[in-house]
Amino acid sequence: MNLRLVRPEDYYEISRLINDWWGGRKMSDMLPKLFFDHFNDTSYIVEKDEVIIGFLIGFVSQTKPNEAYIHFVGVHPEYRKNQVGKKLYHTFFENVKRRSVKIVRAVTSPVNKTSIAYHTRMGFEVEQGDRTADGVSVFSNYDGLGQDRVLFLKIL
């Protein structure tokens, strides 16, 4: 496995992949090209035999320079027990730590139990929201009406 920084041209391959990896859901709207052009110095790819098997897109908050935000993480379904995610997260943490970041944030949907469990294993805490849904604290309507979200925070 080879881990490297994202390059602008990876956008095309990743756009195609994420629609596959998420079982046909149209995820690529969430990941416009700008992330590959303007935040590629804190975003990573894992390749095996020159095929992308995982990626993490994140950045340092411009408004709050001691915070970083992980926007999107994807791992190839066949490589989900291979520590690909762990490698991506830890490399990101080390990178942003060198940029004086103290807090890393991430957001997920309350229905995404796999993501909630995964973030917990990666050392994230769930932020206290305004209500509890399915045993997890959520921020109601965080991403618009009816779009509750779970907010994660990790102190580096």
Give the footprint of a copy of itself on this chain (CB under 8 A).
12, 15, 28-30, 32-34, 37-42, 59-64, 67, 69, 71, 107, 141-144
Query: CA distances (Å), 73 to each of 27, 55, 70, 76, in order?
Result: 11, 6, 8, 10
CB of 29 to a copy of itself, least distance (A): 5
Handedness of CA 129, 118, 109, 95 (dihedral sign): positive
CB of 147 to a copy of itself, least distance (A): 9
Closer CB to a copy of itself, 83 or 103, in the complex? 103
CB of 142 to a copy of itself, least distance (A): 7
Query: CA distances (Å), 97 to each of 8, 54, 103, 115, 156, in order?
Result: 24, 22, 9, 23, 7
What is d(CA 18, CA 9) in angstroms, rounded to the nearest whole number? Answer: 15
Closer CB to a copy of itself, 45 or 84, in the complex? 45
CB of 30 to a copy of itself, least distance (A): 7
CB of 9 to a copy of itself, least distance (A): 11
**58: closest CA among 112, 95, 11?**
95
Closer CB to a copy of itself, 70 or 122, in the complex? 70
Helical H runs in 2-78? Answer: 10-21, 34-38
H or E element: which one contains 114?
helix 113-121
Closer CB to a copy of itself, 135 or 155, in the complex? 155
Closer CB to a copy of itself, 107 or 136, in the complex? 107
